């Protein structure tokens, strides 16, 4: 009886996790002019069509650039922050941790709206710049958290040993700390990349003529054209995320850091 319950729960969980994914894959293969599930007839046509849509190509490049450079910027800020939070008994450390975690807690839609209303509109910062800042801020908490946890068991006397052997503090950080948190930094990068690439609410308000992230562009596309290519694209993106996480797990034992 207990056995049955366990299997039932496992089944339900998997259905809810994987079910939508399967639905999207199949819906993208429907041989119809409109989105349909269950698919009526099977074709790979929509999967190929995705690559020919001009706006998808542009927004994919933007999303990719945001994910890569936003995450890099977040790491540039987050790694030193994690280091300082770990090493020094800073007076405002708790406050800083809260501030850094804020983007996780504050709903993205509010962040997006606030950036539009109080930054883009009054200061004339370009939408692209605002998007870049928003994505950096969004990824920053993950960067700090994941890097922090990989730094936890790194003792300070290792750096002191390096200094006594002739290193400056910066050299000690680069030669001794960084190599030992490499896994954590890479894990943070992947997590940040996926988070940034897939995120909708912050970017919802931050779009302008010709400037849209891919998920927003897909929403816009659906409002006009209701063909299965959106489902096909979603399936492709899901595969991309999956491939990245899978490769990271194989290469780094990624799950140790999250």
Partner 1 sequence: MSDAFVKLSGLTLGYGRTVAVPALDLSIREGELIALLGPSGCGKTTTMRAIAGLLDPSDGTIEIDGRDVTRVPANKRGIGLVFQSYALFPHLSAHENVAFGLRLQKLPAEEIRARTEEGLATVGLTGFGKRKPAEMSGGQQQRVALARSLVMRPKVLLLDEPLSNLDARLRLEMRTELQRVQKETGITMVFVTHDQAEALALADRIVLMREGRIEQLGTPADLYARPETAFAAEFMGFENIFRTEGAAVVSDKGRLPLAAVPQSPILAWRPDAVTVGEGPHEGRVAAASFAGAHREYVIDSALGPVKADAAIELPEVPLGGTIRFDLPLATARGLAA
- Closer CB to partner 1, 62 or 172, in the complex: 172
For the bound state, the minimum distance from the C-beta of residue 155 to partner 1, rounded and expressed in Å, comes to 6
- Closer CB to partner 1, 134 or 147, in the complex: 147
- Closer CB to partner 1, 134 or 177, in the complex: 177
Size of the site for partner 1 (CB under 8 A): 17
- Closer CB to partner 1, 14 or 93, in the complex: 93
35-69 burial string, b = 16+ CB within 10 Å, else e?
A: bbeebeeebebbbebbeebeebeebbebbeebbee
**DSSP letter string, the chain:** -HHHHHHHHHHHHHHHHHHHHHHHHHHTTBSSSS--SS-SSB-SHHHHHGGG-HHHHHHHHHHHHHHHHHHHHHHHHHHHHHHHHHHS--TTHHHHHHHHHHHHHS-HHHHHHHHIIIIIHHH---HHHHHHHHHHHHHHHHHHHHHHHHHTT--HHHHHHHHHTT--HHHHIIIIIHHHTHHHHHHHHHHHHHHHHH--HHHHH--BTTB--HHHHHHHHHHH--STHHHHHHHHHHHHHHHHHHHHHHHH-GGGT-
Rounded Cα distance, 115 and 122, in Å: 10
Contact map string, positions 82 to 111, toward partner 1, x by CB under 8 A: ------------------------------
For the bound state, the minimum distance from the C-beta of residue 174 to partner 1, rounded and expressed in Å, comes to 12
For the bound state, the minimum distance from the C-beta of residue 176 to partner 1, rounded and expressed in Å, comes to 6
For partner 1, the binding residues in 26-55 under the rule CB under 8 A are none
- Closer CB to partner 1, 160 or 249, in the complex: 160
For the bound state, the minimum distance from the C-beta of residue 175 to partner 1, rounded and expressed in Å, comes to 8
CB distance 143 to 192 below 8 Å: yes
- Closer CB to partner 1, 2 or 155, in the complex: 155
For the bound state, the minimum distance from the C-beta of residue 192 to partner 1, rounded and expressed in Å, comes to 23
For the bound state, the minimum distance from the C-beta of residue 244 to partner 1, rounded and expressed in Å, comes to 25
For partner 1, the binding residues in 213-242 under the rule CB under 8 A are none
For partner 1, the binding residues in 143-162 under the rule CB under 8 A are 155, 157-158, 160-162
For partner 1, the binding residues in 153-212 under the rule CB under 8 A are 155, 157-158, 160-168, 171, 175-176, 179-180
- Closer CB to partner 1, 186 or 218, in the complex: 186
Interface residues with partner 1 (CB under 8 A) are: 155, 157-158, 160-168, 171, 175-176, 179-180
């Amino acid at each position: 009886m207990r056995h049955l319950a366990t299997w039932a729960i496992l089944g339900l969980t998997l259905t809810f996790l994987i079910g939508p994914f399967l639905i999207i894959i199949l819906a993208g293969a429907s041989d119809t002019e409109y989105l349909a599930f269950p698919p009526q007839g099977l074709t790979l046509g929509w999967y190929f069509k995705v690559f020919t849509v001009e706006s998808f190509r542009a927004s994919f490049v933007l999303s990719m650039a945001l994910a890569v450079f936003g995450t890099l910027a977040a790491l540039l800020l987050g790694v030193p922050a994690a280091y300082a939070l770990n090493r020094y008994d800073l007076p405002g450390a708790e406050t800083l941790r809260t501030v850094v975690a804020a983007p996780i807690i504050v709903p993205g839609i509010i962040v997006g709206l606030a950036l539009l209303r109080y930054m883009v509109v009054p200061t004339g910062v370009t939408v692209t710049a605002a998007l870049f800042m928003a994505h950096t801020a969004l990824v920053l908490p993950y960067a700090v958290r994941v890097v922090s946890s990989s730094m936890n068991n790194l003792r300070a006397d290792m750096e002191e040993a390096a200094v006594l052997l002739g290193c400056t503090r910066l050299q000690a950080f680069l030669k001794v700390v960084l190599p030992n948190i490499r896994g954590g930094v890479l894990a943070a990068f992947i997590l940040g990349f996926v988070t940034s690439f897939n995120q909708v609410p912050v970017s919802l308000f931050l779009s302008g003529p010709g400037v849209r992230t891919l998920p927003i562009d897909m929403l816009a596309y659906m409002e006009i054209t209701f063909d299965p290519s959106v489902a096909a694209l979603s399936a492709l993106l899901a595969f991309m995320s999956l491939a990245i996480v899978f490769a990271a797990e194989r290469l780094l034992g990624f799950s140790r850091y999250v």
